[in-house]
């Protein structure tokens, strides 16, 4: 069983469209994250979310919004896509860091290309 799974793996779309990337973890973790990996391979945090708190990186445009229907899912919704949004987006999860900071597990990534 895949611990952290993301769909779709590849996404090609036009500027101005709205798209979503889904993430699910079956590890029973309390905290989930979204990271963006740019063309230079640098991983930058976008959001961190557990059942208590959403932490947003202030540099993330408000066109990006995380949506969590339950503890095992954290989806990423992007409005009005721009060329600069092209990147690989990674979902990750860990045990609640407020008590027992744990090992971080990553999904395989979703490569978004905006034309």
Partner 1 sequence: KQEVTQIPAALSVPEGENLVLNCSFTDSAIYNLQWFRQDPGKGLTSLLLIQSSQREQTSGRLNASLDKSSGRSTLYIAASQPGDSATYLCAVLSGGSYIPTFGRGTSLIVHP
What is the radius of gyration, based on Cα positions, of the chain? 14
Q: List Cβ neighbours of 115 (8 Å cut-off, separation of 6 or more).
A: 12, 13, 14, 15
Locate all alpha helices (DSSP H) within 1-115, ordered by sequence: none
Q: Residue 48 Cβ, how far from partner 1 at the closest point, in Å?
A: 5
Closer residue to partner 1, CB minimum distance, 8 or 97: 97
Closer residue to partner 1, CB minimum distance, 6 or 75: 6
Contact between 33 and partner 1 (CB under 8 A)?
Answer: yes
- Binding region for partner 1 (CB under 8 A) out of 20-28, 38-46, 59-67, 68-76: 38-46
């Amino acid at each position: 069983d895949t611990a952290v799974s993301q769909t779709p793996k590849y996404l090609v779309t036009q500027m101005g469209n709205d798209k979503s990337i889904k993430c699910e973890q079956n590890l029973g973790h309390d905290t989930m994250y979204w990271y963006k990996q740019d063309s230079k391979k640098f991983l930058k945090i976008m959001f961190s979310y557990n059942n208590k708190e959403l932490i947003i990186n202030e540099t993330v445009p408000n066109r990006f919004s995380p949506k969590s229907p339950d503890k095992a899912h954290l989806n990423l919704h992007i409005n009005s896509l721009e060329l600069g949004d092209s990147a690989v987006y990674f979902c990750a999860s860990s045990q609640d860091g407020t008590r027992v900071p744990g090992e971080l597990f990553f999904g395989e990534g979703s490569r978004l290309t905006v034309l």
